[in-house]
Structure 1
Amino acid sequence: MKSHLTNDIKYFDYNATHPPYAEILKSSLEEYLDSFYNPSGISRFSLKNQGKIEQTRKYLSQITGGQEKQFVFSSTGTEANHLLVQSLRVLYPDLDSVIVSPFEHSSMYAALDTYGFSPILLKTDRTGIINLNHLETLLQENPKPVICLYAGNETGVIQPAEEIFKLTKQFGQLFYSDLMQAFCKIPVPFSSFDGYTFSGHKIGAGMGAAVTYLPTENKNFRLFGGGNQENEHRAGTENTYAISCLQKVAELQLAHLEEKNIRLKEFQIHLENELESLGCEIIAKQENRLPNTTFLILPIQTVDFFLLGLEEKGIIVSTGSSCKSRAREASKSLLFMGYSEEKALKAIRISTGSFTKLEDINILIEQMKELIETFSI
């Protein structure tokens, strides 16, 4: 399918939001306009819409191996993460802390705070991989549930989920993961996680639908009450349109996953080799990473002017996690990895996806070279 992006925009912020698959969203909108009925109603029209939601739940069960009733739809990744953490509070009412990676999205830390958990942060280094020895030590000393995202939204580094899972099970603990950057981007070992989350807008399905997979069936797992939607886990009328888009885009993404990632990996190698020749430092270059993500430190001080210069040329990149990029704080991921605040403030993220073309990459390289040379004088 073609991108709806104009030739004036070269978009390299897929990890924040994947551009929508316009044809899918338009066809789903037409379905919604023809059948807008509240899925919680009692008419056959409402029941038909509820059936569509259940069909998507069944689809998710088929592609992940999970249980249908343990999938809960909400509106955003932040909501999804809050429900995931709330389930821990229900299971462990007296638990005061959880073992957590230092690379989580800010919404995960916020959820932990909301439900009264203190994060015990795992050690890491410049590989961007959590220290498994440290994890084992923590589990031996005081076993607790573990939360660790599978793929870093900034670094793109893929964590050793199978090893983490084995350790948590050795000590009888749950392992939760944020799969926002992994779902439909790389093969995911779903069986290695007791609970997880992902979101439609990260794969090109538009805003409005996110998913939490809960560790077991339990009516007390509840984001908020007030209705019996989502098996009483999340009150509020479901977004049938967004849920439909999520399934259709997921089907498309997974059907072309291997060929897409081969292409994106070629782009990544080409881009990073060129940027290194300009003096950029590629973060965790030798590690197992998402093929679409390049996190780098610029060899200049004037990062804000550099970003403005790219935007003037119609090129959009990011300074890291989208929820923090406006604040221009030093990347916490890099600080935990041992980088100085000065270096962390010079980091930018380039993320590609389904609609990225080689000519876009070459234009980005050309404009970055020009701006780096300008600001190096």
Structure 2
Amino acid sequence: MKFHSTNEIKYFDYNSTHPPYHEILESCLEEYFDSFYNPSGITRFSLKNQGKIEQTRKYLSQITGGKEKQFVFSSTGTEANYALIQSLRVMQPTLASVIVSPFEHSSMYAALGSYGFEPILIQTHRSGVIDLNHLKTLLQTHPSPVICLYAGNETGVIQPAEEIRSLTKQYGQLFLSDLMQAFCKIPVPFHLFDGYTFSGHKIGAGMGIAVTYFPEENKEFRLFGGGNQENEHRAGTENTFAISCFQKVTEIQLANLEEKNVRLQTFQTLLESNLESFGCEIIAKEERRLPNTTFLILPIQTVDFFLLGLEEKGMIVSTGSSCKSRAREASKSLLHMGYSEEEALRAIRISTGSFTKLEDVNLLIDQMNQLIQKLI
């Protein structure tokens, strides 16, 4: 399959949104046109659609080892994160604080505030890996559930999930994780997490579908009331089209995962060796990272002109987390890691994926070199 686009865009912002698998979405749309029936209806046509939803829930159970009834479909990653935190509030109504990494998506911190949790931040090393000794101290002094994403959306750094799980288990606490950037990008040790989230548009399944895995089955929990959909956790007619797309794209991504990552690792090495020769600093270079992600500090101050220059050449990169990139704020991840605000404002992210080609990477390297030389 290939990246279908009506223009000549060279796309390097996969961590924001993975381009859709065109053929899969088209086939699922045709299926939806033929079978548009409300899955909550009583006819055999509706029941067939409900069966497809439950089949996808069963599929998720098979690939993760989780329990079917603890998977709930929603519309976006933000909603999925809110659902995870709301479920925690229902489980522990008197809990005051939660231990959290400083690298979470903004929606996670917002959800914590909405449900009355005080976030206690884990210290981090300059490498982008959380400080396990500080986490242990926090668990000793403030025994609370731990929230730590598995892979950073900016740095691509993979956190030490086994060690985190060991500590949370030692102190009898839950370990919850945002797996948005890890799911279908690297093998995920689902058994280490008590609850987690991931999203369809991060893997090429299109927008409108996300998943929350609740830490426990709780029949009293209602994200939305007013209907019995999603085992009565989330009222509202399910997006059967998006759910079908999600399963089919997941199957393709997992089947090709090893081959894809070998290719993306080659691209990452090629990119970073050249970028360093241009005076760029690769962030967390020596750490275990996603093979598709390069977060770097440019050797120039005029980052906006640099990005505009790339865009004029039909190349899209990012300044970091897509939900914040438009604001041009200094990356909070880098600030927590010990970088200065001036350095953080010079950071950009390059992220590749399923449809990235070697010739595109070489073109990006060439254009970045030319722009840096002009703006330095």
Question: What is the TM-score when the length of structure 1 is the normalising length?
Answer: 0.99
2:299 equivalent in structure 1: 299
Residue 216 of structure 2 aligns to which amino acid in structure 1? T
Residue 216 of structure 1 aligns to which amino acid in structure 2? E
Q: Counterpart of 1:119 in 2: which secondary structure?
A: strand
Residue 251 of structure 1 aligns to which amino acid in structure 2? E
Write the deviation string for residues 277-318 of structure 1: whole angstroms up to 9, x where unpaired: 000000000000000000000000000010011000000000
Deviation at 1:348, TM superposition (A): 0.3
Q: Which runs of 4+ in 1 moved over 4 A?
A: none
Residue 60 of structure 2 aligns to which amino acid in structure 1? L
**Quick one: distance in 2 between partners of 1:235 and 1:86?**
15
Deviation at 1:3, TM superposition (A): 1.5
1:363 equivalent in structure 2: 363
Deviation at 1:121, TM superposition (A): 0.3
Deviation at 1:346, TM superposition (A): 0.5
Q: Counterpart of 1:323 in 2: which secondary structure?
A: helix
**Quick one: distance in 1 between partners of 2:299 and 2:306?**
11
Write the deviation string for residues 126-166 of structure 1: whole angstroms up to 9, x where unpaired: 11000000011111112100000000000000000111011
2:41 equivalent in structure 1: 41
Deviation at 1:6, TM superposition (A): 4.9
Residue 112 of structure 1 aligns to which amino acid in structure 2? L
Aligned residue pair count: 376
1:58 equivalent in structure 2: 58
2:183 equivalent in structure 1: 183
**Quick one: distance in 2 between partners of 1:178 and 1:292?**
18
**Quick one: distance in 2 between partners of 1:356 and 1:364?**
11
**Quick one: distance in 2 between partners of 1:296 and 1:349?**
6
Q: Counterpart of 2:177 in 1: which secondary structure?
A: strand
Report whether the alignment pairs 1:22 with 2:17: no
**Quick one: distance in 1 between partners of 2:144 and 2:320?**
29
1:286 equivalent in structure 2: 286
5+ residue gaps, structure 2: none
**Quick one: distance in 1 between partners of 2:325 and 2:360?**
23
Question: What is the TM-score when the length of structure 2 is the normalising length?
Answer: 0.99
1:330 equivalent in structure 2: 330
Deviation at 1:103, TM superposition (A): 0.1
Q: Counterpart of 2:37 in 1: which secondary structure?
A: coil
Report whether the alignment pairs 1:118 with 2:91: no
2:313 equivalent in structure 1: 313
CA 268–6 in structure 1, closer or farther in 2 if over 3 Å, else same: farther
- Equivalent residues of 1:177, 1:196 under 8 A apart: yes
Q: Counterpart of 2:350 in 1: which secondary structure?
A: strand
- Matched ranges for 1:1-377 at <5 A: 1-6=1-6, 8-376=8-376
Write the deviation string for residues 178-199 of structure 1: whole angstroms up to 9, x where unpaired: 0000001000000000000000
**Quick one: distance in 2 between partners of 1:16 and 1:249?**
17
Residue 248 of structure 1 aligns to which amino acid in structure 2? K
Residue 52 of structure 2 aligns to which amino acid in structure 1? K
**Quick one: distance in 2 between partners of 1:268 and 1:222?**
43
- Equivalent residues of 1:229, 1:235 under 8 A apart: yes
Q: Counterpart of 1:177 in 2: which secondary structure?
A: strand
**Quick one: distance in 2 between partners of 1:128 and 1:118?**
23
Deviation at 1:125, TM superposition (A): 1.7
Residue 79 of structure 1 aligns to which amino acid in structure 2? E
What root-mean-square deviation, in Å, do the aligned CA atoms of Structure 1 and Structure 2 show?
0.7
- Equivalent residues of 1:154, 1:321 under 8 A apart: yes
Deviation at 1:7, TM superposition (A): 6.1
Percent identity between the aligned chains?
82
Q: Counterpart of 1:327 in 2: which secondary structure?
A: coil
Residue 319 of structure 1 aligns to which amino acid in structure 2? T
